Structure 1
Amino acid sequence: MLTLYHAPRSRSTSILVLLEEMGVSDRVEVIDVTVARQDGSGAPDARNPHPEKKVPYLVNGPDHLRERGAIIAYLTDMFPEAGLGRPVGHPQRGAYLSWLFYYQGVMEPVLVLDWAKIAHPALQTTFRDLGAMTDRLSDALKDQPYLLGDDYSAADLLLSSPFQWLPDAAPKDPAIAAWIQRCADRPALKKVVERETEGMLA
């Protein structure tokens, strides 16, 4: 059985949303662990097999995965019938993987650097800046509702995820704003957020 190590209201929440979207949440054991938080709360959890005690961390027998993009690609390949990925041979396979890796390799670093108010020519040359990231998303969404066209995919889930938790970080672009709202209106996201919020209040 698949095992997901998860901390509520963290980056791993998007993996819970993916499992809910795919209808396979009953096929994955979720183990809640603590993690060190930016506000100083929390702490590394000895039960977490992640080498840096981060989440998400997915275990499938001897196969261990970290990094959200990798976990999303793995799960959508494992459950292709859900239609949230693009399997090998699909004409959008390259675009799908490119968006997953764009998030990990460009978008999240740019957002973190902007939030931390850190700027340097080497960083901008490597990752570009917030304006370039906004232009990339806007170009992709100006004539279609989702990153890959008319259908929602796990790429939309991943790339919209930071703006679900930090709406003030969302670019002030109409096409992007409408896309973020479409992703926020997904029943799976609402269900997981409600469940995690109730759990923290209990």
Structure 2
Amino acid sequence: MLTLYHGANTRSSRIIQLLIEMDVLDRVDVRTVGLVRQGNVGAPDPANPHPEGKVPFLDHDGTLIRESNAIVQYLTDHFASPMGMQIGDARRGSYLSWLAYYGNVVEPVLIGLVAEIDHPVFHITFRGPQEIYTHLGETLSERPFLLGDDFTAADLIMVSPFQFMPDFAPDIPQVKEWIDRCLARPSVKAMKEYDANLMEAVG
């Protein structure tokens, strides 16, 4: 049994969107847990098995998977969905690179911007937003989505910061058009409705 520990309007919302895109939301037990949110609002939830009280957190019959990019890869492998690239697909290397790039570079850089971190070691390690924007712009100048003609989980996770922090979107036409294409997908609306229903039930 797959169990996803989730909090509405958090990073785990993109996992809900992924499950909707793959049409497997009904095959996962989604458990909503309490969280400590920004501003120290809320409290740790003993029902959440994540060692740091975060979401998303995936439990597959005792196999525990943490971090969004690892969960995305696990789910797209498990359900063999076109949202992910399977072993043998020539695009799998690029797919895995985008997932890793998101967690290893994109999120640290954007969090650094929010926190106003300005340190040589940080910049040497992660570079900065301009390198991210250039990489996206060059990739999207050749195709509508990161891996080609079709929307995949690589797009889903890479576009997510611009969904929640639109001011960080670069003024690059092909990137802005990609963001619009990604956020116009029906799964985005469905995910927002799913989370809104959760919040209404709690409130």
Q: Do the structures match in fold with TM over 0.5?
A: yes
In the alignment, the residues of structure 2 paired with residue 134 and residue 119 of structure 1 have an alpha-carbon distance, to the nearest angstrom, of 19
In the alignment, the residues of structure 2 paired with residue 43 and residue 159 of structure 1 have an alpha-carbon distance, to the nearest angstrom, of 29
In the alignment, the residues of structure 2 paired with residue 177 and residue 72 of structure 1 have an alpha-carbon distance, to the nearest angstrom, of 24
In the alignment, the residues of structure 2 paired with residue 151 and residue 42 of structure 1 have an alpha-carbon distance, to the nearest angstrom, of 39
Amino acid corresponding to residue 143 of structure 2 in structure 1: Q
Q: Could you tell me which residue of structure 1 aligns to residue 74 of structure 2?
A: 74
Amino acid corresponding to residue 144 of structure 2 in structure 1: P
Matches within 5 A, 1:168-179: 168-179=167-178
Q: CA deviation at 1:42?
A: 1.6
Q: CA deviation at 1:198?
A: 4.2
Using CA pairs under 8 Å that are at least 6 residues apart, name the structure with larger relative contact order, 1 or 2.
2
Q: Could you tell me which residue of structure 1 aligns to residue 156 of structure 2?
A: 157
- Deviations 1:2-35, CA, capped at 9 Å, x for gaps: 1000000000000000000000000000000011
Amino acid corresponding to residue 61 of structure 1 in structure 2: D
- Deviations 1:81-129, CA, capped at 9 Å, x for gaps: x300001111011000000000000000000001111111111111000
In the alignment, the residues of structure 1 paired with residue 117 and residue 84 of structure 2 have an alpha-carbon distance, to the nearest angstrom, of 34
In the alignment, the residues of structure 2 paired with residue 7 and residue 94 of structure 1 have an alpha-carbon distance, to the nearest angstrom, of 31
In the alignment, the residues of structure 1 paired with residue 82 and residue 114 of structure 2 have an alpha-carbon distance, to the nearest angstrom, of 34
In the alignment, the residues of structure 2 paired with residue 43 and residue 180 of structure 1 have an alpha-carbon distance, to the nearest angstrom, of 34
TM-score w.r.t. structure 2 length?
0.96
In the alignment, the residues of structure 2 paired with residue 8 and residue 25 of structure 1 have an alpha-carbon distance, to the nearest angstrom, of 15
Matches within 5 A, 1:22-171: 22-80=22-80, 82-171=81-170
* Secondary structure in 2 matching 1:30: strand
Matches within 5 A, 1:179-194: 179-194=178-193
Q: Could you tell me which residue of structure 1 aligns to residue 199 of structure 2?
A: 200
TM-score w.r.t. structure 1 length?
0.96
Gaps of 5+ in 1: none
**Segments of 4+ moved more than 3 angstroms:** none
Q: What value does the CA root-mean-square deviation take over the aligned residues?
A: 1.1
In the alignment, the residues of structure 1 paired with residue 56 and residue 134 of structure 2 have an alpha-carbon distance, to the nearest angstrom, of 29
In the alignment, the residues of structure 2 paired with residue 39 and residue 139 of structure 1 have an alpha-carbon distance, to the nearest angstrom, of 37
Q: Could you tell me which residue of structure 2 aligns to residue 13 of structure 1?
A: 13
In the alignment, the residues of structure 2 paired with residue 198 and residue 63 of structure 1 have an alpha-carbon distance, to the nearest angstrom, of 29
Give the length in aligned residue pairs: 201
